[in-house]
Chain A
Amino acid sequence: MTDADPRLVRRLRLAGLLVSLGLLIEAATLFWQHPTAFLVFLLLGGSLVALGVLLYLLSIATYASPRPAASSEPPRGG
């Protein structure tokens, strides 16, 4: 992925954004002692992290790495 596939980069960016946002929300709820904090942690933070992780997995699972160029050298021997 030296010349990164733009589609993969786009997906990674989105996944990164979702995971980071989710993690920040999760961390913020730790400083709030209220039952609602748990709901926000789980429903909002957890969902964003899960979405981001899934998108990351999807992007690497569907990424087709470029095949190495066929060699022009003639086969040796024979």
Chain B
Amino acid sequence: MPYFDEVLVAVVLTAIALIALVVLRPSLTAARGGKILAFLAFLVLPILATAMGLSAHIEHSKTTEFCLSCHVMEPYGRSLHVDDAAWLPAQHFQNNRIPRDHACFTCHTNYTMFGDAKAKLRGLRHVYVYYLAGVPEKIQLYEPYNNRECLHCHAGARSFEESDLHKEMRADLGSNTTSCLECHDAVHNVGELKGKPLWKESKP
């Protein structure tokens, strides 16, 4: 929703202004209107602002900027800019096959702080690991990459469905028996980033 954050800030400022009014002139609450004003200022608006804030944070968490804000994710972000068409994430990112500002979330829908309940707990654990326990040397997915993430765009696409190779293994791909990454294996490969030429994004 456009201007969501601005609306939220306006709600916060209104709540604070009304709270100040009630606190500085408590005699206002003697009248029925004053009581309603206090109820709005102390209860309705703060709860509304908190709910809107939660929603805004959930939206922010889907952005590429959010994912790459953790230092350990930096090489993964760089892998999106590798100037090599064989690199799957780079190819998707650079050719707008996924929205650039939501790149991570588009392909890792089950792997964010705000996915299902399990993913949320993992997200909190990541914060703990990041700040307190120490980040492991090798970062890897908790479970094998699910073909569902590829098929929610590619299933039904002509170039995908009409490829002879895909036709042969279509059932296996659909049931996750064969991973898409078995053939398309140049994924983030952060270990091989050194020396790779990077594509420079030009702003229109």
Contact = CB atoms under 8 A, between A and B. Distances in A.
B85 interface: no
Tell me the dominant secondary structure on chain B's binding face. Answer: helix
Nearest to B18: A16
Contacts of A42: 54
B47 A53 contact: yes
Interface in A28-67: 29-30, 33-39, 41-42, 45-46, 49, 52-53, 56-57, 60
A21 to B, nearest CB: 10
A34 B72 CA distance: 13
B16 A23 contact: yes
Contacts of B23: 9, 12-13, 16
B68 to A, nearest CB: 9
A7 B191 CA distance: 65
A53 B60 contact: no
B12 A4 contact: no
A59 B117 CA distance: 36
A1 B127 CA distance: 48
Contacts of A49: 46-47, 49-50
A19 B27 contact: no
A3 B124 CA distance: 49
Contacts of B70: 34-35
What range describes how many residues of B lie at the interface? 35 or more
Given A1-B30, A27-B8, A56 B42 contact: yes
A19 B79 CA distance: 43
Contacts of B16: 20, 23-24
A35 B19 CA distance: 30
B42 A15 contact: yes
Interface string B127-140: 10011000000000
Interface string B54-70: 10110011010110011
Contacts of A35: 61, 66, 69-70, 113, 123, 126-127, 130
14 contacts: A1-B29, A12-B22, A12-B38, A16-B22, A19-B19, A19-B46, A20-B19, A24-B16, A27-B8, A30-B56, A36-B131, A41-B57, A53-B42, A56-B42
In the A-B complex, the 7 residue pairs with the closest CB atoms: A56-B42, A4-B26, A16-B19, A16-B23, A1-B30, A34-B69, A27-B12
